[in-house]
Amino acid sequence: MSSAALTSYEALLEALTRRLDGRQIIALCGPPASGKTTLAERLANDLDQAVLLPMDGFHMDNDALAQRGRLHRKGAPDTFDVDALLDVLKRVKQGEHVQAPGFDRDMDAVVPNTHTITAHAKTVLVEGNYLLLDQPPWDALHPLWDMTVQIDVPLSELSARLMQRWLSRNHSASEANARVQGNDLPNAQTVIAQSRPADLIYRQTP
C-alpha cells in the first residue's frame, strides 16, 4: 500500500485521529531539522491522552563515543543505544508505566527519567531520525509501530535550517558549514535514502 501524502497539519491530525483505535504507538520520523520535535509537541497537545517519547534520550554517552572514535559523528545511527530504546518500547507496548530518558541540548547529555509514559496513555508519539531505518538494529523497532509518519522536507531547506541552528549557537560560518556537511547532511541523507515507507507522509515546502 502506498503512503498517503499530506501537506497541512490539519490534514495530518485528522488522518491520525481517524486511524487511532485503543492504545497506539506512533513513529514520527524525519531527518535533522525537519521539525520533528515541534510537530510532535503540537500533536501531543491535540491528540487524546498523548505523550511524547523522543529518540534523543537514547544518545550514547560522550565518553563512550570518544572511546570509539565516534564523538565527531554524534547523531549518526550507530551512536544511539537502540537496545535500550527497544526495551522501553516493548514495556510501553505491554502497557507498563515507564520512565524514559531525555536529552539536554545545552549540556549535550542524556538526562534520566525525563519522560513518563503512564499505563493510561492512549497515544505514544515517538519522534526521531532513524525510527524507520531499514537496517539492523533499527529494524527491530518496526513491529512495535501501530502507525508511522515521515516528515518530508527538501534537502536544500534542511541544509539552510541546519546552518542557522549552528549559527544561532554562536558557531562561525565555517564551523557551522563543517558540522552540516560533515555530519548533519550525511545523517539526513541516510534517513531519506534508507527508511522504510511510512503510512503517512507529511510534506513540507519552504
DSSP sequence for 141-188: GGGG-SEEEEEE--HHHHHHHHHHHHHTTT--HHHHHHHIIIIIHHHH
User: What is the reported pLDDT for 163?
Assistant: 95
Distance CA 9, CA 47 (A): 12
User: What is the reported pLDDT for 205?
Assistant: 59
Distance CA 192, CA 163 (A): 19
* Alpha carbon 40 to chain centroid, angstroms: 9
Give the pLDDT confidence of 70-84 residue by residue, as tens digits: 999 999 999 999 999
- Give the list of residues 6+ apart from residue 68 with CB closer than 8 angstroms, or none: none
Question: Does 111 score more than 80 pLDDT?
Answer: yes
Output b/e per residue, 103-130; b: 16+ Cβ within 10 A: beeeeeebeeebbebeeebebbbbbbbb
- Model confidence at 50, in pLDDT bands (50, 70, 90)? very high
Side chain identity at 161, as an amino acid letter? R
Contact at 8 Å (CB) between 81 and 74?
A: no
Record: fold of 4-203: Rossmann fold (3.40.50)
Locate the domains of the chain by residue range: 4-203
Distance CA 75, CA 128 (A): 10
Give the pLDDT confidence of 7-23 residue by residue, as tens digits: 999 999 999 998 887 78
pTM comes to: 0.91
Q: What is the mean pLDDT of the chain?
A: 93
CA dihedral sign of residues 17, 28, 82, 58 = negative
User: What is the reported pLDDT for 3?
Assistant: 73
Question: Does 61 score more than 60 pLDDT?
Answer: yes
Distance in Å from the first CA to the final CA of the chain? 28
Distance CA 152, CA 97 (A): 32
Question: Does 37 score more than 70 pLDDT?
Answer: yes
36-46 vs 9-19: helix crossing angle, rounded to 10: 60
Question: Does 1 score more than 60 pLDDT?
Answer: no
User: What is the reported pLDDT for 10?
Assistant: 94
